[in-house]
Structure 1
Amino acid sequence: MKVDIQTLTLVLGLIFIVQTLVLSVQYRLNRSYDGQLWMALGNGVEALGFLFLGLRSIPALTLFSILGSNACIVLGMMLIFLGILRFLEVRLPLFWMWVLYGLFLLVVLYFSLIQDSTPIRVVNLALVSALINLLTALALFFQRNVHFKTTARILGSIFIAYAFMFLLRIVSALTATAQFSSIFNPSLSQSFFYAGGIVLGNLYTFMFILMINQRLQSEERETQQRFELIFNTTPDAILITKLEDGLITAVNPAFTRITGFLKDEVIKKPILHLGVWSNSEERDRFTRILKETGLCENEEFIFHRKDGTSFTGMVSARTFMMEGQPHIISVVHDITARKQVEEALRESEAKLQDLLQQLEVEKRYAQESAITDGLTLLYNRRHFDATLRSDFYHLKRTEGILSLIMLDVDHFKKYNDTYGHLAGDDCLRKIGGVLKQVVGRTHDTVARYGGEEFAVIMPETDARGALIIANRLRSAVIDLQLPHSTSDVASEVTISVGVVTLRTSDMESPEQVVALTDQALYEAKRGGRNRVVQKDLSNQGNSHQFMQLRWNSNDNSLHPLIDQEHQQLILHSNDLLALLLQGQDKENLIPSLENLLNEVISHFNDEEAILKERSFPQLDEHARLHRDLIDQGRDVLERYKNDTLSQGELINFLIYEVIVHHMLTDDKKFFPYVGPSIPWSMVGRTSNKEIL
């Protein structure tokens, strides 16, 4: 039977076109695997090569047909080989392939353009094709995926058959060169080659599609197995229900452990029949969210167990299609224990806040008690001394006027002996009350100085104003009409009052003001009691521009280091004042000023370290005051060096602001934290009996 070789060539080209279409459709259906498109492209390029081969019968296109068919057929095989490597997830250096392809094309060009030889071209094409098919077969034989191992080996055998056909074609070309004078000369070997190509091409396409499907099925099985493993081993309850009617189709073991319902009790039953939802409104909201968005994340709901107990679950759910119907997969994480811990933490936090508030109240009470007289509820002697010192130095800097009133209950010892100490305590309380009423200004200070003696500090009050207040105080005590039958002055309780008004710039220390006022009080007593004696020194001058700072026992914090450094600062400040009084020039003063400022900085650092150790709550604010004072001190000192600041302004800042005002006022806020602790119940409770 005579076989038309040209017809077989056309049929083979059409088969390659069909294979290209089939592989392209397979790629569009499933793009998960790399390499499919390369194989489809390789078949298409081979089909183009056989179409070029069909043009060999046209003499004018012979050279074009030779070059095109050889280039496309080998390139198509290389693309198929590359596609299979990618499908098998094998990565090899392919530079050698393009070198081989280049050498192949050089041989084709030489034996087509320079020395035309069809047999040599046939051998060149068959040799390269056999090598590529053998390499493809080896890649399939040695691939490691067990799920399509048999199919891959069958496909590898097909490529070995391809290689064997090309080797037979080499033998035919070398032994029967006459029949290759034309590519379409009929012969048994030619017919066998093209017929074999048709059969093997169909087998190759079928087996490759089968291998793809086997890989898909195996991965789907693995995915299902992984899902089932996760589904059955996760500690969270998982259930799958139909979106339309809530029919349960699957639950995991954790669902049984958490809810108590067995799998057989819930499968193919609506979830509403189980009664797991504690609130129908929450259930409706959950369903509405899923229907609107298809997703619900980390929503908290209360559920019922089979035994009637409740638990809190955090639910994440989404809709998906299964068996053509919309379903819901829900994951429920039991957070009951966490909610109990959170509730316990909230309760503990509330108790802690209550405790902190109580401690704050007690701290404020302790602070108030530390400066308050327990009997009269006026300020005590300690607060009086601190306030007088602060006002004294402040007014000294501003050259303001200070008035001090001191008063004493007349014949109070006789009152105690006659009416008893309880009545005496009541008398002092009432006098303290009227003193507070008469002295109405907030910046004035009314204090119990000791025993039956009281004092009023009145900054920026002239002699006339102080005298008016003193007389009002005396009259107010008389108006109390407290009987005093053993008094030598009157039938009711009276007081003697001493008043001093002065400029603190004329004084050396607060103690000097107290001494002058006490002297006025003494004169009031000596003058017959129940009277006011005033000394107005506000218009007198003093040749001394500066004073000497003095350490007072009330300034002790009872912390050894802090008190030691405070006293050293007082001492060195007095040394600086002595230099000023001696008229030292600026060059001699600047080193002393710098040393004093450095000593202040060192003291601030030590003080902050101690306060941090003692957990002083206002440490940050206190440290900010330190930084501000240091910055201001450096600026003031620099201005003094540049002759833009007077000596008086410099000394006022360094001594009065930094040392006196800060050290003797602001620092006392932390005294309760650095000194030895005493029971709060003992703070500020002193009766007149204990003093007497």
Structure 2
Amino acid sequence: MSDDATEIGVDTAVYKTLLESTKAIPWKIDWATLRFAYIGPQIERLLGWSQSSWVGIDDWVERMHPEDRSWVVDFCVAQSKAGVDHEADYRALTAEGNYVWIRDVVHVVRNDKGEVEALVGFMFDISERKKNEEKLLRLQRELEELSYQDGLTGVANRRLLDSVLEVEWASAQRSGQPLSFIMLDIDFFKQYNDRYGHLAGDDCLRRVTQILDSASLRPRDVLGRFGGEEFALVLPETDREAALLVAERSRALINDAAISHQASETAHHITVSMGVATASPAEGGNPAWLVEKADQLLYLAKQNGRDQIVAD
């Protein structure tokens, strides 16, 4: 054997040793036959399938999560035919029946005529990275939920109420259904805080929230804290009469709770004043108008002596 041949053999052995000592799993597929020309032995440590069991592209496809299979195969085949290097993340099936997140980085090899000759690439285990990504996404969702949640009572805050109103207004414009909005204010709440202290005031707000939340609201109805001692109810597909029934039931439940309020000028327990506004968004207007209308009606309820409901 010539020195050049010996050197080539040594180089090949060195490259193979280097490739097989990394965590990345090297592989090569012959494009004409779609059969594996090579796959690193690390594949057995990662997925449990023997090196010799990776015969053709069907083995790769069948050992992929069903939810990932279609788009990954279509994407990789299209990119390969176009001669474009690419990468794809998917879940690979282990011999034990579990799944491991894989990132396949693919290089398209062309011959002298520019035709696709082979695909070579590396498989990387990205399970830990995916776990971290999912954890971050979960934290982001939790933070987003918190950003829409009133910190004291746990119900929707003003930001979420505004968002819900925008969505429900647009929905009502399309459907032609009415949309109602109730503004509710605890009567003489400043005096309650002065008499019992702010901690007791916080407890009172939480109790009122629980009472309102128990008023058998429908899935799309949204209860929120508008600010301070003011609460609001967004009632989609609800006309004036139905909204009044919700308001009356809520007010009755709060009265029945008999939360002591010796400093109130209305009663010796917590009472509420309410403004009930109903709109037909398909006829025009905007959500801000509905909120303003409910606020005006609430003001009238307070002017008229509190512990009552005023509707438009």
Report the TM-score when normalising by structure 2. Answer: 0.59
Q: Which runs of 5+ in 1 are unaligned?
A: 1-221, 238-253, 255-296, 301-313, 317-344, 536-692
Indicate yes or no: 2:246 matched with 1:469. yes
Q: What residue is the counterpart of 2:131 in the other structure?
A: 354
Q: What residue is the counterpart of 1:373 in the other structure?
A: 150
CA gap of 1:439–1:501, structure 2 versus 1, over 3 A, is: farther
Q: What residue is the counterpart of 2:81 in the other structure?
A: none
Cα distance, 1:399 vs structure 2:
2.7
Quick one: which of 378, 385, 400 aligns to 2:177?
A: 400
Bigger share in helix: 1
Q: What residue is the counterpart of 2:78 in the other structure?
A: none
Q: What residue is the counterpart of 1:504 in the other structure?
A: 281
In 2, distance between residues paired with 1:409 and 1:356?
Answer: 44
In 1, distance between residues paired with 2:295 and 2:308?
Answer: 14
Quick one: which of 385, 389, 414 aligns to 2:166?
A: 389
Cα distance, 1:444 vs structure 2:
1.4
The aligned runs of 1:218-229 (5 Å cut-off) are none
Indicate yes or no: 2:244 matched with 1:456. no
In 2, distance between residues paired with 1:467 and 1:353?
Answer: 50
Q: What residue is the counterpart of 2:211 in the other structure?
A: 434
Relative contact order higher in (CA < 8 Å, ≥ 6 apart)? 2
Indicate yes or no: 2:279 matched with 1:517. no
Q: What residue is the counterpart of 1:481 in the other structure?
A: 258
CA gap of 1:355–1:505, structure 2 versus 1, over 3 A, is: same
Cα distance, 1:235 vs structure 2:
8.6
Q: Is the 8 A contact 1:496 1:524 kept in 2?
A: yes
In 1, distance between residues paired with 2:245 and 2:133?
Answer: 46
The aligned runs of 1:80-91 (5 Å cut-off) are none
Q: Is the 8 A contact 1:495 1:529 kept in 2?
A: yes
Q: Is the 8 A contact 1:388 1:510 kept in 2?
A: yes
Count of aligned positions: 213
Quick one: which of 119, 141, 146 aligns to 1:364?
A: 141
Cα distance, 1:364 vs structure 2:
0.5
Alpha-carbon RMSD across the aligned residues, in angstroms, is: 3.5
Amino acid at match of 1:501: T
Identity %: 36
Cα distance, 1:412 vs structure 2:
0.5
Cα distance, 1:409 vs structure 2:
0.5
Q: Is the 8 A contact 1:520 1:533 kept in 2?
A: yes
In 1, distance between residues paired with 2:291 and 2:241?
Answer: 19
Runs of 4+ in 1 over 3 A off after TM superposition: 232-237, 297-300
Q: Which runs of 5+ in 2 are unaligned?
A: 18-38, 43-49, 53-123
Indicate yes or no: 2:192 matched with 1:415. yes
Amino acid at match of 2:202: D
1:471 aligned counterpart, secondary structure:
helix
In 1, distance between residues paired with 2:41 and 2:170?
Answer: 66
2:214 aligned counterpart, secondary structure:
helix
Cα distance, 1:398 vs structure 2:
3.3
In 1, distance between residues paired with 2:272 and 2:10?
Answer: 92
Indicate yes or no: 2:292 matched with 1:527. no
Amino acid at match of 2:281: T
The aligned runs of 1:629-644 (5 Å cut-off) are none
In 1, distance between residues paired with 2:51 and 2:172?
Answer: 71
In 2, distance between residues paired with 1:528 and 1:393?
Answer: 36
Q: What residue is the counterpart of 2:56 in the other structure?
A: none
CA gap of 1:456–1:315, structure 2 versus 1, over 3 A, is: closer
- Answer with 1 or 2: which has the greater Rg: 1
Indicate yes or no: 2:224 matched with 1:447. yes
Q: Is the 8 A contact 1:372 1:378 kept in 2?
A: yes
The aligned runs of 1:10-89 (5 Å cut-off) are none
Cα distance, 1:492 vs structure 2:
1.7
Cα distance, 1:495 vs structure 2:
1.0
2:220 aligned counterpart, secondary structure:
coil
1:438 aligned counterpart, secondary structure:
coil
Cα distance, 1:413 vs structure 2:
0.3
Cα distance, 1:234 vs structure 2:
7.8
Q: Is the 8 A contact 1:410 1:493 kept in 2?
A: yes
